Chains A and B, each alone.
Chain A
Amino acid sequence: MEQGGQVFRALADPTRRAVLDSLFSRDGQTLNELCDQFPEMTRFGVMKHLSVLTEANLVITARQGRTKRHYLNPVPIEQVANRWISKYAARFTSALVALDDQVLADQQPEERGRAK
């Protein structure tokens, strides 16, 4: 899957967003620390979510001695936003302008009708 798709898929799940929120407030947590944050989930469940987030490059793991830590990587989110803005913003803006023109054009005959 292309990376944008992976990012959206990873972010679609509320638990995975909660994991990212947890790393946002405290970056560099171990698996045990993350499991403590989500007592309703099994260790396997947390690991599964982490692997989806890692595949989407939203979470990076780094070893510190024997400890494996998890870090939030904001880069792919920015890329999705950039792509969205650069690729679609111009078209989006012009579509809004066109819509605005259309609304005005639709209104005018009515107003003219009322004025009669």
Chain B
Amino acid sequence: MRLAAHVYQIYIAATPEQVWAAITESEWTRRYFHTTSFVEPPQQGKPYLTVGVDGRPAVDGIIEEMQRPAAGLPGRFVQTWHTRYDPELEGEPPSRVEWTIESAGEGLTRVRLVHGNLEQSPLTWQNVKDGWVWILNSMKTLLETGHPLPRVRDDESVAESVSS
């Protein structure tokens, strides 16, 4: 792990297998991950591409590691990350996203996300910083309640509804 990394951790009331499915299967990702899905089911050592509902490329890279969680062993999903959803970010070199999925007791799973190798990608560093917080919270909410987080209204409209 390098210094130019974002590190997040979230606890989810679900099994490691359910969390694994939420990260690696398109039926789940499109419900909480800005509607994006894998074009082909991800496979270790193979390139991947995710697209939005409109079919536009979102992210591409290589699946470097894909180890399902097993009894006593954490799940690992490691992907290089090359942004495709924004032309400016697309010009930056690939970074790396590492998911670690680990049982944290009966019915509870700890998910750690490290987005690293961002030294040469300052725009991506800034762009994903808060984005991951929302993605992780939305994944948690989806797994725990069956519904993803609703889209957040911008501050102005919240302020208006409070003052009106």
Contact = CB atoms under 8 A, between A and B. Distances in A.
Contact of A73 (B5, B8, B162): B8
Interface in B128-160: 130, 133-134, 136-137, 149, 158
Given A69-B1, A82-B137, A93-B161, A75 B9 contact: yes
Interface residues of A, number: 20
Contacts of A73: 7-9
B7 A71 contact: yes
A78 B133 contact: yes
B71 interface: no
A5 interface: no
Interface string A17-46: 000000000011000000000000000000
Given A62-B1, A75-B136, A82-B149, A57 B9 contact: yes
B14 interface: no
Contacts of B68: none
B3 A28 contact: yes
Which DSSP category, helix, strand, loop or mixed, fits chain B's interface?
mixed
B8 A75 contact: yes
B112 interface: yes
B10 interface: yes
A96 B162 CA distance: 8
Contacts of B158: 85, 89
B11 interface: yes
Interface string A54-84: 0001001010100001010111001100100
Interface of B: 1-3, 5-11, 112, 114, 130, 133-134, 136-137, 149, 158, 161-162
Given A28-B7, A62-B1, 13 more contacts: A27-B5, A27-B7, A57-B11, A60-B9, A64-B1, A69-B3, A74-B130, A78-B137, A82-B149, A89-B158, A92-B162, A93-B161, A96-B162
18 contacts: A28-B7, A57-B10, A60-B8, A62-B1, A62-B114, A64-B2, A69-B3, A73-B7, A74-B130, A75-B8, A75-B9, A75-B10, A75-B136, A75-B137, A78-B133, A82-B137, A92-B162, A93-B161
Interface of A: 3, 27-28, 57, 60, 62, 64, 69, 71, 73-75, 78-79, 82, 85, 89, 92-93, 96
